[in-house]
Every structure is written in structure tokens, then in C-alpha cells.
Amino acid sequence: MSAAVGVTDVSKRYRLYHERNQSLKASVMRGRRAKYEEFWALRDVSLEVPEGTAFGLIGENGSGKSTLLKCMARILRPDSGRIATEGKVSALLELGAGFHPELSGRENVYLNGSILGLGKRELRSRFDDIVGFAGLEQFIDAPVKNYSSGMYVRLGFSVAINVDPDILLIDEVLAVGDAEFQRRCGDKFAELRSQGKTIVIVTHALSTVKEMCDGAALLEHGHLIEVGDAHDVVDRYLGDVFAPADGAGATTASNVERVELLDAAGRPASGLRTGDPVTLRFHYAIPDTLHEPVLSASIHHLDGLEVARPSVRVEAAGGPRGCVDLHIERFPLLSGTYDVTAALTSAGAPIGVPDRAHALRITVDRGADADSHGVVALDGRWETVTNEVAP
């Protein structure tokens, strides 16, 4: 497999103008050009997107994802380094990829198609597909300025994929479409990939990246932090974002002082495997103000999904401090990273969002006979049915 997009040592510098000379008066007053500072939006980024794969670019706001994508699309020229692309590139960047608001959807399809490099004849033969995919047959003769932002994106996306690109670059736009359209996009992506096309997508929807992408790259302040398997890169990013506070995450706020993970023998454990017997031990201190205290624990997957919230009534028996164990005979969660948080509240009171900065982080490895996908081990039993009469 060769690289569809090869990025080699790419750096991109922007100029930040303090005050732009936009009027004659301002420039006469200040002299020649406006002053500016330089700012590196990308610094020595190297990566390869293999042909026929879907690739995600992730990172926090302003980390340089769009900049990198625009460099791939040749809209921006890097200050140093090289970008090599193999085949026809089509880019869909943000809302309204160059639509003219006064013109109708139909006119814009032709205009946009030719901007993206389609000939008139090709466009005419694909016109119905384009409009059909966007689902805008009824509105195609209305000026696009009257479109909703979702409709705008649908039409733009529909043109961009019907250009029949070898490489499709997408920035953040799909989130605007409705559920139905997103499903159609998902199908279309699958189709494109089965045809050996390459997709590079910038998004903050990390579950999409995990689901759809084979590879991913994580950018931070213009530097490439990690590139590799999409699952690993997303987990790395989430791990950075929700990093437990220093001190190995043994303290929790909100009256629960400590959470411990113990193995079957009652020894502190650092990791475990699906199906292992484990104990979660919670150390708490009940404040005077709390009546009928309830300890609620919460287990989050790194993606943000809360997988369980066990709770128990606790008593202030000998004093305000106490300790309660949660024994789990066969740990049901599949491999991944989970955060355990806990809080004491009054019975019946709502529980706030647990502060994940104070979580106990546990890493679960794949157990002997656990599934490789999903979140929980169902612990079910398969049985072949032999006496069922076929319909």
C-alpha cells in the first residue's frame, strides 16, 4: 500500500497583524505596511495517509488541523516541507464551499462542480445523483441564501463526493447534517473506501474517528504528537484531556477521599483483565451536614460514556470516616481505559457531574476469552438450536 498523501516536515507560519492598515488615513498616519508577528501553526509535521484508508485529524481548537488539511488541499502553501498527493483531491472545508448566495442551487452545483474540476458533460450526467444525494430536489431552483445551514452543507458535500475524487478532505462539516444525512454519509464513506478511495477527516466527534477511521493523527499547538491506529490516538488524546491529577489519581473530591483497586487477594492492583475478580475500595468522610449519606460511584469510559453508576447507603458508625468495598466477581468491562469517580450525597439528591480530574484511572486488558469489540462482556452462553422447525 502506498501513501495517498505524504506530508514531509511541513511547517506553516501565519502573520498576526496587530492592526491592519485598511484605510488611507490609517496608513498615512502609520507609514507603510502594518506590523505583524509571526506564528507557527504547523511545525515539522510528517505523516503518511495510506491509500484506501480513512484518516482522522484530531486535536484541540487551534491546534492546526484545518491548516494541515488546507495544505493538503493546496489552498495554503507550507513555508517549508513537502506535501505529495496521489490522485484527484476534493476538499470540503467548513460551510458553503464557495457558493454564490444569490444564485440558485442548480447554478451553484454547476459552478461549484467546475471549481472542483468537473466538466460540463460530466456534471450534467451526475446532476441528478448530486441533487438526489443531497435530498434537495424541491429546493434546487431556490437561491442558496435561503437554504438552512444543513441544506448548504448537504449540497456542498454532495457535489464534493460526486466529483469522484481519489482523496476526499473533509473539515468539520458533517456534524451539521441531520441523522438521516449522516447515515447516508457513513454509507457513502464505506462505499468510497471499498473503491479504494482515501478520506481525510478533521473532526471533534471522536467516536466517529474511532468508528470510521483506520488511522489518526493528534496535533497539539502545531506539533504532531502521535500518529497511528485511530483507537490508540483517540485514547491518547482523551487521556491527555482528562488526565488525572498528580498523585496517581487516588483522591477524589466531594468527601470520598480515596478509591483503591484491589485484586482477589486484597492487594492494591494497578491493572486488570476482563473477567478478573476485583474489589473497588472507597474511603470516605461524612460531613455533619449530610443526612442519610449515599455513596455513588461512577465508571466512565474514556470516550465519555458512563458505563455504570453503582451506589450504596453508608452509615456513620464509629465516626465520620469509613470505608466501603464493592466486590466484583467477574469484571465485565472490555479492554480500554476507565475512570472511577465517587461522591457522597444525601439520599434522593441529584448527583452532579463527577470531577474526572480526580478519578482513579484503571486500564483493563483483554481477558482470556473476552470479545475484542464493544464495552461489556455479556457473559452469555451460546447454544445451537437443533429442534426448531424451519419456516
Find the binder of other proteins among 9, 30, 75, 175 (CB under 8 A): 75
Torsion of CA 185, 191, 192, 197, to 10 degrees: 150
Task: Measure Cα distances from 56 to 147, 207, 229 in Å.
Answer: 29, 11, 10
Instruction: Tell me how many residues contact ligand ATP (CB under 6 A).
Output: 12
Site for other proteins in 25-44 (CB under 8 A): 27, 33
Give the largest CA-CA distance in the chain. Answer: 94
For other proteins, the closer of residues 156 and 293 by Cβ is: 156
Q: How many CB atoms lie within 10 A of CB 388?
A: 6
Interacting residue with Mg ion among 53, 63, 66, 254 (CB under 5 A) = 66
Q: Which does 74 bind (CB under 5 to 8 A by kind): ligand ATP, Mg ion, other proteins, none?
A: other proteins
CA dist 223 → 88, 330, 359 (Å) = 27, 42, 28
| Interface with other proteins, residue 142, by CB under 8 A | no
Q: Which is nearer to ligand ATP, 41 or 131 (CB)?
A: 41
Residue of 41, 160, 259, 297 interacting with ligand ATP (CB under 6 A): 41
Task: Give Cβ neighbours of residue 285 (< 8 Å, ≥ 6 apart).
Answer: 255, 257, 320, 321, 322
| Residue 14 engages ligand ATP in binding (rule: CB under 6 A) | yes
Classify strands 271-273 and 360-365 as parallel, antiparallel or unpaired: parallel
Task: Tell me the window of 26-34, 58-66, 255-263, 317-325 that interacts with Mg ion (CB under 5 A).
Answer: 58-66
Query: β-pairing, 167-171 with 198-202?
Result: parallel
CA contacts within 13 A on the Cβ side of 262: 17
Q: Would you say 111 or 262 has its CB closer to other proteins?
A: 111
Buried b or exposed e, range 223-247, using 16+ CB within 10 angstroms: ebbbbeebeebbbbbbeeebebeee
Interior/surface letters 41-57, b for 16+ CB within 10 angstroms, e for the rest:
bbbebebbbebbbbbbb
Among 8, 11, 21, 251, binds other proteins (CB under 8 A): 21
Distances in whole angstroms, Cα of residue 33 to Cα of each of 25, 112, 121? 13, 35, 47
CA distance 232 to 227: 9
Note whether 108 and 32 are within 8 A (CB). Answer: no
Of 66 and 162, nearer to Mg ion (C-beta) is 66
Residues between 47 and 86 with contacts to ligand ATP, criterion CB under 6 A: 59, 61-67
**Quick one: which of 43, 65, 70, 184 contacts other proteins (CB under 8 A)?**
70
Locate all alpha helices (DSSP H) within the chain, ordered by sequence.
24-30, 65-72, 105-115, 120-134, 149-162, 179-194, 206-212, 230-241
Nearest to ligand ATP of 65, 154 (CB atom): 65
Nearest distance in Å: CB 82, other proteins: 14
7 binds other proteins per the rule CB under 8 A: no
Residue 62 site contact among other proteins, ligand ATP, Mg ion, none (CB < 5 to 8 Å, cut-off depends on kind): ligand ATP
The one segment of 20-28, 65-73, 277-285, 306-314 that binds Mg ion by CB under 5 A: 65-73
User: What is the binding site for ligand ATP (CB under 6 A)?
Assistant: 14, 16, 39, 41, 59, 61-67
User: What is the binding site for other proteins (CB under 8 A)?
Assistant: 14-15, 20-24, 27, 33, 70, 73-77, 89, 91, 93-94, 96-98, 100, 102-103, 107, 110-111, 114-117, 119-120
User: What is the binding site for Mg ion (CB under 5 A)?
Assistant: 66
